Amino acid sequence: MDKAGLLFDFSGLQPLEIFWLILGFAAQLLFSARFLVQWIASERAGMSIVPISFWFLSIMGGILLLCYAIWRRDPVFILGQATGVCIYARNLVLIWKGGPRQKDCQ
């Protein structure tokens, strides 16, 4: 197959680059899974809710994506993920402190 027709060419990657690429894809999958979790929880509750698992998936995926962004040295990606991680952490702190919550559907 002609390499010009491929969207990505992984043939010249070093092992460390492959590791980071796999980590980046895994992080994105983890981060994206939060929307599926939120959707399922909302369908079960019959209303829009944000379960605690959404915030755990957000922070885990966000931290891994932040690591990937730092490795890539991408300031736009770094700023976006660092900001998100702070917000996710704050939401988990508020939940941990036991403030008012939505209907529990975890």
The Cα 60–Cα 6 span in angstroms is 31
The pTM (predicted TM-score) of the whole model is 0.80
Which amino acid would we find at residue 96? W
> Among candidates 20, 100, 12, 10, which has minimal Cα distance to 68?
20
Q: What is the pLDDT of residues 50-106, one digit of tens each?
A: 999 999 999 999 999 999 999 999 999 999 999 999 999 999 999 999 866 555 545
Q: How many domains does the chain have?
A: 1
Q: Residue 47 is part of which domain span? A: 16-97
Instruction: Look at residue 41 and tell me if it is in a domain.
Output: yes
Instruction: Look at residue 75 and tell me if it is in a domain.
Output: yes
Q: Would you call 26 exposed, middle or buried from its count of C-beta atoms within 10 A (0-12, 13-18, 19+)?
A: middle
DSSP designation for 5: G
Instruction: Look at residue 3 and tell me if it is in a domain.
Output: no
Instruction: Look at residue 51 and tell me if it is in a domain.
Output: yes
pLDDT score for 1: 53
Q: What is the pLDDT of residues 19-30, one digit of tens each?
A: 999 999 999 999
Percent of the chain with pLDDT over 90: 79
Instruction: Look at residue 80 and tell me if it is in a domain.
Output: yes
> Among candidates 21, 11, 8, which has minimal Cα distance to 72?
21
